[in-house]
Amino acid sequence: MFTKAERLISIRNLKPKKREGFLKIISIFSFLGIMIGVAILIIVMSVMNGFKTDLTNKILGLNPHIVIQPNNYNINEDYILNLKKKFKEINLNKSFSGEGIIISKNFTKGVIFRGVDKKEKNTAEFFNKYISEGNLKNFGSNRIFIGTELAFNLNLEVGDSINLMSSYFMDTPLGSLPKQENFEVAGVFNTGFLEFDQNIIYLNINDALSLFNKERKDQNIEIYLDDPLKANFLKKKIQEINQNYFIYTWSDLNKSLFSALKVERNVMFIILTLIVIVAAFNIISGLTILIKNKTKEIAILKTLGLSNRSIKKTFFLTGLTIGFFASLSGVILGVVFSLNIEKLRLFLSSVFNLEIFPSDIYFLDKLPSEINTSSIIIIFIISLSISAIASYLPATKISKMNTFRALRYE
């Protein structure tokens, strides 16, 4: 593609003379600008990918993949047996959820009650994975499990007595009052998902039904899949069996969240790509000045028989070389920072006493990072393409130069 002579001239262009010190500074700024732009782009994309992956894993690990609600229609055993027979890859749980209030000492808080059966496979796996205090054996009638954040906010410990108030109102001599029952804290779980740990309470499914004055026919069916990404596809198949039930998936509940993440990721990619484009303008200015300074040399090369095309290629290669090594350095720098982003966060937090990644805002307790090879390749190609365009534009001016006039006035 490039001849030996073209490569030698290009290398010579990369080593400006002492009197061309300003040109050297422009080349350095071009290199640093592209390198930093590519590095920042990779770091931000890695953090965004890691945030999405961690958030997805948390949601999938803490919530059922598909939920079937009775919707005023009885979910009978024949329907459940039909589901198990038709979809052998699914695991079924029975549950009941409702909103209510927890009352402890002088504290009250609105929470979500989740009634579950500890004998169910997925329920047992959840508690065995996330219990930080207490024991699953203690989870029984009038005993509850709460999250670490809720326990901290309400100053609760294992063995403490609390009062749960449901949204169901019952008639009393004093009028309609919300139903309340006393419970004991049997254990504390810690999922690392702040929003979940401070808003969810687990109780026995019979207690949950009693608290909301519901019957077993009002239970929800929770479905867990080996591949949660197939939830929407399976949802359509399940709806074909019976249209009377209300069915939703984990993605339905979090559609707005993931849509916002996708939009934010795309906007960040566009904005940060502009950094590389701005840095590439330095290549244009640098090569323009270089071509202006090399007018005499260019004229001599033309006189010696070197074609306009070859001279264009030498200056194009000069700019492309700067862009290539700057992009490569940016990729290396970005990957290194992405791999150590959590260590860097902890270091900066301790040195400047700043909370860089507050868990109460971002739902996660550490700064995630996931390096995506395809994203890095795309970023590298985009950076190299921008550098190539920036190198080509000044090189086209060479064909307009008058060789004899250049030699006459030099």
> Strands 143-147 and 175-189: what pairing?
parallel
62's CB contacts (< 8 A; 6+ apart) are 126, 191, 193, 196
Q: Given the DSSP bridges, would you call strands 175-189 and 131-134 parallel, antiparallel or unpaired?
A: antiparallel
pLDDT one-digit tens code per residue, 236-281: 888 888 888 888 888 887 777 777 777 878 888 888 888 788 877 7
Q: What's the CA gap between 199 and 26, in Å, rounded?
A: 56
Compute the distance between CA of residue 319 and CA of residue 283 in angstroms, rounded to an integer.
6
User: What is the pLDDT at residue 409?
Assistant: 46
Angle between helices 255-293 and 308-339 (to 10 degrees): 140
Residue 95 in contact with residue 218, Cβ under 8 Å? no
Beta bridge partners of 113: 98, 201
Rounded distance, CA 365 to CA 382, Å?
Answer: 33
> Within a 10 A sphere around the Cβ of 381, how many other Cβ atoms?
11
What angle separates helix 308-339 from helix 341-352, to the nearest 10 degrees? 70
At residue 400, the pLDDT reads 59
Q: What totals of helices (H) and strands (E) does the chain contain, helices first?
A: 16, 10
Go through 175-209 and write b for each residue having 16 or more CB atoms within 10 A of its CB, e for each that does not: eeeebeeebebbbbbbbbbbbbbbebbbbbbebbb
> Is residue 300 exposed (0-12), middle (13-18) or buried (19+ Cβ within 10 Å)?
middle
Buried b (16+ CB within 10 A) or exposed e, 154-170: bebebeeebebbbeeee
Q: How many CB atoms lie within 10 A of CB 3?
A: 12
Under a CB-based contact definition with an 8 Å cutoff, are residues 183 and 95 in contact? no
- Global confidence as pTM: 0.68
H/E segment holding residue 185: strand 175-189
Domain segments of the chain as ranges = 4-57+257-408, 90-225
3-state helix, strand, coil in the chain (%, to 5): 60, 20, 20
Query: Do the Cβ atoms of 247 and 68 come closer than 8 Å?
Result: yes
Structure tokens at 151: 């326990």
How far is Cα 171 from Cα 222, in angstroms, rounded to an integer? 32
Say what the pLDDT of residue 393 is. 79
Q: Which pLDDT value is given to residue 286? A: 74
What does the alpha-carbon distance between residue 26 and residue 278 come to, in Å, rounded to a whole number? Answer: 13
Extract the residue ranges of the chain whose pLDDT is less than 50: 409
Give the residue from 30, 46, 29 showing the smallest Cα distance to 331.
Answer: 46
Neighbours of 74 (CB within 10 A): 11
For 395, residues 6+ apart whose C-beta sits below 8 A from its C-beta are 287, 291, 312, 313, 315, 316, 319
How far is Cα 78 from Cα 254, in angstroms, rounded to an integer? 31
Neighbours of 402 (CB within 10 A): 11
- Angle between helix axes 373-395 and 255-293 (nearest 10 degrees) is 30
